[in-house]
Amino acid sequence: MSEKLPLMEHFYTLQGEGAHSGKAAYFIRLGGCDVGCVWCDVKESWDASKHPQVAVTDICNYVGLTQAPIAVITGGEPLLHQLDLLTQGLKAKQIQTHIETSGSSPLSGTWDWITVSPKKFKAPLVEVLTKANELKVVIFNKSDFDWAEKHAALVGSHCKLYLQPEWDQQDKMLAQIIEYIKQHPKWGISLQTHKFMQIP
């Protein structure tokens, strides 16, 4: 188990997206990603060696110094790392553990909430999709609706389904997403509300 993790950034804010949108949450962004999305807006996260190795106990203490009820582990692709110790440490402080992942690497850690946001550049593993609490599919264009349905067929019946317009395509895609959800009401919409609020 890794006692240190490459920590790119960490901050206390509100979760902006998905089922827990609007809740106070401490974000822990780990370095390292092997997915390679061409449109990635955190490419500086890709190389884990560019980020300081920080002791898991210190990371847990950062969260514990705040009132945060939830820690969201994100990246990069956080599942490139062994996360058992991190989630154990957070849970020992009564902090709920959430992860945002592409689902493309094997699951480690103990999670209260698993958000899988599948990417076309490295397919999610079925073993991760079946454990997802939330499937969040970013919509760039019309063909992404079929792609979203393909993944919705692989998650469990308990999994919440969200379509999220890609931020720069919002003007073009928002009306289509709203209409799609009206026709396919198993889906809900996820908006990047933190960007509207201009918070991290």
Residues that bind ligand SF4 (CB under 6 A): 33, 35-37, 40, 42, 45, 75-77, 102, 119
Residue closer to ligand SF4 (CB basis): 4 or 122 = 122
Q: Pick from 25, 21, 19, 28: which is nearest to 76 by CA?
A: 28
Q: Pick from 76, 71, 50: which is nearest to 61 by CA?
A: 71
DSSP state of 131: T
Shortest distance, position 104 Cβ to ligand SF4, whole Å: 8
Shortest distance, position 55 Cβ to ligand SF4, whole Å: 23
**Cβ–Cβ < 8 Å for 47, 74:** no
Paired residues of 74 in beta bridges = 29
DSSP state of 179: H
Taking the C-alpha atoms of residue 37 and residue 135, their distance in angstroms, rounded to an integer, is 18
Shortest distance, position 150 Cβ to ligand SF4, whole Å: 18
Shortest distance, position 102 Cβ to ligand SF4, whole Å: 4
